[in-house]
Structure 1
């Protein structure tokens, strides 16, 4: 059980998949996760919100901060909207930008006064290996690359207050959505596994372990970085 005075961590999209794994790890590490998601019926104390909507996001953030400042933030919520470049609709593009990018900025700005006052902050932004380029991902890749750009700017601007900002770039991670799109025995899934140097897809816990490191008090000299949790798939693709 989390101690009532445990440091709080705001996790967007923490109701399932990678976000839920990060929440579990945070509890193990002695933090108190505050989860905002579209579906939170199964999440004790979860705050329900449509994070693609600015007004609903503001309302949820106000509710989260009613219990006091929060100095750790995981911008995890996101949407994929796969489509080829010629067919990617403006509606899909706007949704990806709202949920994957704008929401992260809005959450950071809401928590920032408390972080500055504390002289401490940890921001972890969930980007993706797709930011380096991936077919059928125009809107998704653009939003995730934008998240890396924002991460770097925040690292430069906020470091003077003891606030770090880093990004995680997951590769293929076995979640319910991944398994639905990639059945374990399907040839496409086997092709994905064969392309990963460690010869397996990742687990949500692989990403939560990376997030735990970046959220730690002792990671204060690491900022503005992208940690690819991809089994080696970005080797030869990402810049040195």
Structure 2
């Protein structure tokens, strides 16, 4: 199966990002992974541009390279980090770093992609926020920047809708990835309690999230923009069990 679509996926080397890359390749996309390291799998339609998205200058250069080399039609901004801290320990450097990787790099890459999307009068932009945007202890900088992504996507959706470019957000809940297990020990009582607290009684998987991303990326879904889809097993509906 082949398509004429080319996607940038940030953080495409591991976890949710790697699964998004795989599903896009299966659907016939040309895919450009932008991450600190290349994916640990290869494909004739998979390309890698190494970049540290915490570095604005490096991000600008990588975005320009991607836009010059490839006719980008899709941009999925999946890269992110958590850096959990309670309020007394939060440093402004934490906020600045997470603002760059979650918001700043999204702006830089989207700006690089826009000329081709506007020329084609078609584009799909998907930003990866988090259920944490609604509030989670130890997530001051994380929740602030993930919530900012939602507001930014709503603004972009209004600016770009008439040009055939949709902008939507996927907001995962607890997903079984290395980043999750960096915070919650695998096999721990805490992990089990988190799963029990989710209405569907399990943690999410990377493929759960990737399918939601693919829905927003589908060219047929041109009447959906500015929306946020929580892929969280119901955890965004209520955190209180009575």
Contact residue 81 and residue 179 of structure 2 kept, 8 A? no
Q: Find the aligned partners of 1:68 and 1:33 in 2 and give their Cα distance.
A: 9
Pairing 1:35–2:33 present: yes
In structure 2, the partner of 1:211 is 213
Aligned equivalents of 1:58 and 1:198: distance in 2? 41
Distance 1:232 1:64 in 2: 37
**Deviation at residue 180 of structure 1 after TM alignment:** 4.2
Contact 1:126–1:167 at 8 Å: present in 2 too? Answer: yes
Query: Which is further off, 53-62 or 109-118?
Result: 53-62
Q: Which of 167, 170, 174 is the equivalent residue of 1:168? A: 170
* Kept in 2: contact 1:174–1:204 (CA 8 A): yes
1:54 corresponds, among 46, 56, 69, to: 56
- The change in CA–CA distance for 1:84 and 1:206 in structure 2 (over 3 A counts) is same
Unaligned runs of 5+ in 1: none
Partner of 2:107: 105
Matches within 5 A, 1:65-104: 65-104=67-106
* Deviation digits for residues 165-193 of structure 1 (CA, Å, limit 9, x no counterpart): 00011000001232343334311111100
Superposition TM-score, scaled by structure 2 size: 0.93
More deviation, 22-31/180-189: 180-189
Paired residues for 1:1-240 under 5 Å: 3=2, 6-40=4-38, 42=40, 44=42, 45-236=47-238
Alignment root-mean-square deviation, CA: 1.5
Long gaps (5+) in structure 2: none
Distance in structure 2 (CA, Å) of the matches to 1:113 and 1:24:
26
Distance, in Å, in 2 between the alignment partners of 1:212 and 1:183 is: 30
How does the TM-score come out when normalised to structure 1? 0.93
